[in-house]
Structure 1
């Protein structure tokens, strides 16, 4: 295929395994400290049986690739058909209690209160300085706003859970807040989580569930039965394709995963393709594109800050003073901005310096970079000084010892295909 051929020309001449490893392991293996004993999801034995090449990721042994299927082939399969990912390493939790919505609006800048029942939002946990502790998905699971399903990153597990515990203690001690209506956190230990992604994901899932998927739009969820097993199905994902993230009780995870992967059009997909798919979709990887020294404005995530959360009594989230000062026209300007780049020549990798068009002034650095299998071009994400972030701005990236031309390009690099209705 032309796109695959052009993408292959961008890759070093090495064995398929070495190529895929070089493409992804540098960026995915450092999202958490090294662990002497790696954890395993409930699907570990299945991955091994399927020929999964297991690597360390966020303290877990996770599949990078399967058998002889290379990263590009796997990536393209998700873009054209359907791939199934094990994301059971992610931390699934329930935050509940009479003031749960208020608690989450204290922890995040998002308008949690206005979420519809079973509606979800991407958000960020912020520290006192407005830096991003983690990105997370919050789903409302009760009419009264007293129960929320929350998914956070495995590589931030200890930091996040400690933060939740400390803030819950603080919240529950305060009059008019948790002291009257306390909140609690339940971690759904060992629960399975799989992501079915791609243009044929809906047809695959529809053949297994007991209700129509046509009214389940992007950003919404529902409880359904797969082969008589109750699961939580959220429409969304980390690839830019239509798809679903399915939460499953520990005792049923293996059986449901096997049912979802049984159709021949579904291919088990590992971390290698997950990384290239998410970068084409312009999505951040915590620990690389986000960290506690970066705020939502610098990260290009200002849209997560609800309009009603920007002033008045509702502007009461942790880190608000700093974030709103950076956001406001009359306050401190942001010093850097996250941008997308198309890079000529060899691919730009994490840590490579970004310069002005003459290669004289250093403006920032690359945080993620790959050859795009879909576009046949080298794409990257990074941070540059504010003012250099506008579409079409010509820059240079130092790739090894050479300055390579780059141009600021809007993200996502590949148009998303989320299902928003017929």
Structure 2
């Protein structure tokens, strides 16, 4: 198992400034379309995934709780937005993704994984079947829209370009912004500006218009709350964001609360809880292996992944509730009864909605059952923890038929 990064700082919050200072290339970090907007509103900017991004505005705890209670607006324009065009694009993507892409109907989306030949996870992503007449340029009947993680988007594009047929066009839409509006009142705020979005349900998407600005909106997100992701032209991002912030339910939220929210929701973060040495089975993401794909195989790493699914993985991603008030951080060791390191914490911090420190870790399968007592060592200090079912707080997605 790949060791995690060393724990960062002594703050109780997941995204300390040290942790946010990811490795950046020698060139200066790129600027988001809303860079000036964030600074004007007091956003504390830090380098992350090659961009300057806001970690917080008024404080991580306040922003976290506001999102759980109302509607938080996140700038996620660092993510990669890709459109695949060409005959059979879905079948070509199935060479690398274990999901049933061909079965997607227009406006339907699916969580999936970009895999290497050993079955390791190169990235996790969202893929959507686009309808004819979509807002991403010249539209074809087989077009697909994919959102990938910002830190690895150029690696992803290289991998995809290498493995899909030359007839498939990959359009990296660097001129578009991406916003996430999350929380129980997100639908009220957005529906005032964009009538019709309330008709969407979880994992459905569609084309909309706001004052002549073409929008692509999905009912999705990475906080465990109801909410939306909104793709729009970068040159329209400021005026549209201002309109959202005029809604009483909406406040801007930074990366710090985005991280604590997704951890409470039991959602893994690529580069921390997922990496090329982790498989979907070990990561407890077996739902991403669609039935048809399991039966037909044919995706990268299929033999290894399906053998592991049948025979069992040696380790599993689990949630932990930490005793006491001191959180454990990424990189802390999970110990067995003899004091030997047998696992590793990959994310951790205090959870504002839970009121306790929580974490994700990889542990041996024998230690993965909820209720199992776990010992964690961080900087020479021993912490006691209990394996807990995830999510730590219930998901509140608005599903079809609900």
Given the two structures, how large is their TM-score scaled by the length of structure 1? 0.87
Residue 230 of structure 1 pairs with residue 222 of structure 2: no
**1: distance between equivalents of 2:171 and 2:59?**
38
Unpaired stretches in structure 1, ≥5 consecutive residues:
1-13, 173-181
Residue 159 of structure 1 pairs with residue 149 of structure 2: no
Report Cα offsets for 1:178-226 as digits up to 9, x if no partner.
xxxx211000012110000111000001101132x34310000011112
CA contact (8 A) 2:14 2:350 kept: no
**1: distance between equivalents of 2:278 and 2:297?**
19
- 1:178 aligns to what? none
What is the RMSD computed on CA atoms of the aligned residues? 1.8
- 2:3 aligns to what? none
Report Cα offsets for 1:275-305 as digits up to 9, x if no partner.
1001001111111101000110000101100
- 1:318 aligns to what? 300
Report the CA distance between 1:388 and its aligned residue.
Answer: 1.3
CA contact (8 A) 1:91 1:187 kept: yes
Where in structure 2 are the equivalents of 1:57-96 lying within 5 Å? 57-66=48-57, 69-96=58-85
Report the CA distance between 1:166 and its aligned residue.
Answer: 1.1
**2: distance between equivalents of 1:113 and 1:27?**
39
**2: distance between equivalents of 1:139 and 1:380?**
31
**2: distance between equivalents of 1:305 and 1:48?**
42
CA contact (8 A) 1:209 1:227 kept: no
**2: distance between equivalents of 1:158 and 1:102?**
22
SS of the residue corresponding to residue 328 of structure 1 reads: helix
**1: distance between equivalents of 2:340 and 2:370?**
19
Moved more, 70-79 or 358-367: 358-367
**2: distance between equivalents of 1:415 and 1:81?**
16
- 1:42 aligns to what? 33
Report Cα offsets for 1:51-73 as digits up to 9, x if no partner.
1100010000000111xx11101
**2: distance between equivalents of 1:259 and 1:100?**
36
Residue 241 of structure 1 pairs with residue 225 of structure 2: yes
Report Cα offsets for 1:229-274 as digits up to 9, x if no partner.
2200000101100000000012211111111121132110001101
Match among 15, 21, 38 for residue 29 of structure 1: 21
Moved more, 107-116 or 223-232: 223-232
Where in structure 2 are the equivalents of 1:224-373 lying within 5 Å? 224-311=208-295, 314-329=296-311, 333-345=312-324, 346-356=326-336, 358=337, 360-373=339-352
Report the CA distance between 1:359 and its aligned residue.
Answer: 5.7
Match among 213, 216, 223 for residue 200 of structure 2: 216
User: For the structure 1 residues 133 and 22, does the alpha-carbon distance in structure 2 shift closer, same or farther, using more than 3 Å as the test?
Assistant: closer
Number of matched pairs: 385
Structure 1 segments of 4+ aligned residues over 6 angstroms from their partners: none
SS of the residue corresponding to residue 308 of structure 2 reads: helix
CA contact (8 A) 2:182 2:227 kept: yes
Given the two structures, how large is their TM-score scaled by the length of structure 2? 0.92
